[in-house]
Amino acid sequence: MEPSKDESFFATILEPGSSRNPVFLAILDGAFIFLLLVLLSLAYLTSGNPHIFALIGIELCLWGSVKWFISELQKAQASASMDGDQDKKDE
């Protein structure tokens, strides 16, 4: 479903299925990159504080889990649409 021009971005991302929107995914990746840059700069400024490296690890795990979840969601929806197409052919 294509959002209309007068809808705000926040209204668009609150709709069901918006997690597959390429614009939303690009903004999400940008936010994770920005957070990683902030944490890396903090690691430099604090002379390698181990707590910052732990936060970097947590951020990378969160980013990876979000990417994994979205890929699994896309796989599940692709297989569901293929099953729906198969049911239509059987009728």
Residues 30, 87: Cα–Cα separation, whole Å: 40
Residues 84, 26: Cα–Cα separation, whole Å: 29
pLDDT(68) > 60: yes
pLDDT of residue 77: 85
Contact, 39 vs 56, CB < 8 A?
yes
Render pLDDT for 13-55 as a digit per residue (tens, 0 to 9).
777 777 778 888 999 999 999 999 999 999 999 999 999 999 9
